[in-house]
Amino acid sequence: MNLRQVFMSVLLFGVAGLLLFMYLQAWIEEQHTESGKKLQQETINQDFTLQPLGMPRKAAWRRSAPVNLSNHELAVSSSRHWQGRADPFGVVAASLGSRLPEQQKASQSPLSWFRGVHLPPALHPLNKTFVKSGEWQDVDSTQEKRRAFLQDFCRKYNSRKTLQTHLVHLVSRIYVEDRHKVLYCEVPKAGCSNWKRVLMVLSGLAASANNISHDDVHYGKHLRKLDSYDLKGIYTRLNMYTKFIFVRDPMERLVSAFRDKFEHPNSYYHPVFGKAIIKKYRHNADEEALKTGSGVKFKEFIQYLLDSHRPVGMDIHWEQVSKLCYPCLINYDFIGKFETLEEDANYFLQLVGAPASLKFPKFKDRHSSDERTSTEVVRQYLKELSKEERQLTYDFYYLDYLMFNYTSPLV
């Protein structure tokens, strides 16, 4: 074979390869387009309106607040710093939406769940068949007030923005326990470790919550999440199971997360978050701190939290509850609070028919020798911040304060 024939052969192979490449590229683009259309069909597109229009936020909130609340349910006060500033509800519009009406049947399409529904959603009455004792009357009364408060909030305060959130993302923090038909939305630093222990006992994976280690709870993958089911499975459980959530005062939860992740040795949070925080927010940081990420100060952590250009992303331990559990979109049947954790938890266990021997664990999951993060502990940490930083931190969790009727801190 002479040089000319070799050249022609190479040229022909090159042309053939180019044609094959162009064909494959066109096929891949076609498949991608079809996949995109399917995904778009599963996307929630919901418009809702801010109410009442033209009313000052403080007056509007007072009008919506229920009366005769207990000490744990003190009405929240709206702060004057929002006057003339961007609407906080517009900023967090992706956390709000509509919930499933009571009369909607499970036979309907899962995708139609989020189409054409309007606020306020119907409140499902709690099934109290298993509650035998009259000692829960006060707890039950408080629970009904919490549910009504959130219901009222979600009806009156929404934003005229479009919500575009994939259904699977909405339920990504929800754990499933099929035997007792319960769904638990995990809020870190609000008793979630012990709740996972309880779910493992309810599901038959363990005989006692007291014998389950921290690593088994968080890394054992014994519990199944709702987003692991297909759309029909997600929809059916959301419609039929008892959905519950436990929340905590936002500032207490924030300080608790900081103490847990940055004031104790941690092989993940120090190198991943600590190094990035120290590098950006600490002037003249020494080589050891930059290398290990240990020793992050609370003020530096807050600077990271409030930075719109964070050097590292958010984390579920300090993410807003409104973005973890979507309380105005998913109709939670039971709203517990960390401040009344034991009585709320044990009442809920009776509601779902848990074994009489199962009580909510009282022990602290980790760092048991540390003082619990109380109001006084939080006050000491907030002293490290400027007045503006304290106000901006409150602003960051503003929606959580409103949704769950927590008293605004003295900033």
User: What was the pLDDT predicted at 30?
Assistant: 57
Contact 336, 246 (CB under 8 A): yes
- Residues 199-236: tens digit of each pLDDT: 989 998 887 888 887 777 777 778 999 999 998 999 89
Distance (Å, whole) CA 231 – CA 258? 36
- Sign of the torsion angle spanned by Cα atoms 100, 119, 163, 85: negative
CB 338, CB 257: distance < 8 Å: no
Q: What is the pLDDT of residue 67?
A: 37
**C-alpha dist (Å) from residue 155 to 119, 150, 158, 171:** 5, 9, 7, 21
Residue 136: the pLDDT is 85
The verdict on pTM exceeding 0.75 is no
Listed residue (60, 81, 148, 185) closest to 396, CA to CA: 81
Where helices occur in 249-371 by DSSP H, the ranges are 250-262, 269, 275-281, 287-292, 298-306, 321-324, 341-351
The angle formed by the CA atoms of residues 18, 35 and 234, to the nearest 5 degrees, is: 155
* Nearest to 377, CA basis, from 237, 256, 257, 202: 256
- Burial environment of residue 253 by CB neighbours within 10 A (0 to 12, 13 to 18, 19 or more): buried
The length of the chain in residues reads 411
Average pLDDT, the chain: 77
Please state, in angstroms and rounded to a whole number, the distance separating the CA atoms of residues 144 and 148.
Answer: 6
Of 50, 52, 70, 147, whose CA–CA distance to 348 is shortest?
Answer: 147
pLDDT of residue 64: 37
Burial (Cβ within 10 Å: 0-12, 13-18, ≥19) of residue 120:
middle
The pLDDT value given to residue 137: 86
- DSSP, res 271: I
- pLDDT lower than 50: segments of the chain: 32-121, 159-162
List the end-to-end C-alpha distance of the chain, in Å, as a whole number. 87
- Computed on alpha carbons and rounded to an integer, the radius of gyration of the chain in Å comes to 25
The pLDDT value recorded for residue 57 is: 37
At 85 the pLDDT is 37
